[in-house]
Amino acid sequence: MARFYSEPSRTFSEYLLIPGYSGAEHIPDNVSLKTPVTKFRKGEEPAISMNIPLTSAIMQSVSGDRLAVALAKEGGISFIFGAQSIESEAAMVARVKNYKAGFVSSDANIRPDGTLGELLEIKAKTGHSTTAVTDDGTANGKLLGMITSTDYRVSRMGEDTKVSDFMTPLEKLVYAREGISLADANDMLWDHKLNALPIVDAEGRMKYFVFRKDYDSHKQNPIELLDDEKRYVVGAGINTRDYEKRVPALVEAGVDILCIDSSEGHSIWQKRTIEWIRSRYGDSVKVGAGNVVDDEGFRFLAEAGADFVKVGIGGGSICITRETKGIGRGQATAVIEVAKARDEYFRETGVYVPICSDGGIVLDYHMTLALAMGADFLMLGRYFAGFEESPTARLMVNGSYVKEYWGEGSNRARNWQRYDLGGKEKLSFEEGVDSYVPYKGMLSDGVRMSLAKVKSTMCNCGVLTIPELQQNAKLTLVSATSIVEGGAHDVILKDTSAVKR
């Protein structure tokens, strides 16, 4: 006979935190959100930790190299989407790793016979005001000049004006040769009062830019997540089909951690993938696995050698797995059960395998609930998709700015590898939808606001760290009526969209 669970599976919205005693020390500035990402033995430190408990989902519409840099600046990790060619994913990883080293590959380039109109299109696409002029218009062409926003005035020039007519030519540029140290490059920026310093090879071909803003950025982001070489930390998604080729390419590109991207992780395919990585690299390459929703799934992946385990099936806002296949579990219930399994495994083996709550986060306070229920960190898709740095286009729909957001199981993504069950190499039916999310501006502003709420709530609970929250949190189920009571009710709201003159 089938196994039935006596309790219903529940979502984050069905719980609230009960406040605890707050002492004088319980202020947001004293809260630490540092959390482990990879497994570690009792008494040891994890190889990788984050300064905030947030990662971005392995999705085409979420995690590109630009968002990876922005999230690492805030202390988290982005997992570059794997539903692309091996070469393309490895290139994204390499761009992130090169970025913090201070030597940034130029993604805004134009030929000297290009026009002002073409330049404006490049600027609109990349968001960058500094453009390299190369002989072939590529990032590694021979450097002929440079354009910044001070070199032209749109109101006084026609869009057919040739780039060669207004660019700053090479002979008037201050540039450096490949091999210069970052410290010396920064000195040149300051000595010559520059905002950007081009770096060229021995043949005069463009290699990198070093920007003054990147030097300032480090001072403005004290909790940015860096590796031992002061480069941004970045993750990448892999699948259970081409890992023998994809993993070496990503490792060569400098990836810090991998994660198997799958809708369901309790499978022989994930075990084989992890075993291959361990046989080839030992423990030097870190890899997370998932997704699972119960204790059996967690133990299976922990024993297979996963560095962390992702929890959640069907809880994502664009996921229709529960509708189409009838599998999954309420995210709160899944996290609670898997957290218990993690703690039991730790008591038995002395090895702590962090868990990542993936899906089900709708409101900011759900982040705190997920952490209190036992998650070590969170993976978010919809949340990050709305920020400026996500890879998708910003559009105007019905008078409001939105960004595109689609599931990896949608026909648009066609990421059949994520739903691989060892059969044909195709997507048999959709498990995700194509949608929009509200545009939310810059990632740094949104993340800092969300985590300010998390820190404030932790202070209300009388805790200053995530482990303290997990140990001391008091949670209560809420009724449907109390959920209504928790929002604005029985009042006439003012129309805040109207602006008084």
Catalytic residue numbers, as ranges: 319, 418
Distance CA 171, CA 173 (A): 6
**Residue burial 41-64, b: 16+ Cβ < 10 Å; e: rest:** eeeeebbbbbbbbbbbbbbbbbbb
Tell me how many helices (H) and strands (E) the chain has.
Answer: 16, 24
CA distance 140 to 106: 8
H or E element that contains 236: strand 235-238
Helix (H) or strand (E) holding 78: strand 77-80
Listed residue (450, 358, 364, 384) closest to 67, CA to CA? 384
Query: Residue written as tokens 């898997």?
Result: 338
174 touches 166 (CB < 8 A) = no
Residue 432 is classified by DSSP as B
Cα gap 223→426, rounded to integer Å: 42
Concatenated DSSP letters for 358-426? ES---SHHHHHHHHHTT-SEEEESHHHHTBTTSSSPEEEETTEEEEEEE-TTSTTT--GGGG--SS-SS
Task: Assess contact for 74 and 444: CB atoms under 8 A.
Answer: yes
Enter the tokens of residue 378.
Answer: 């969170």
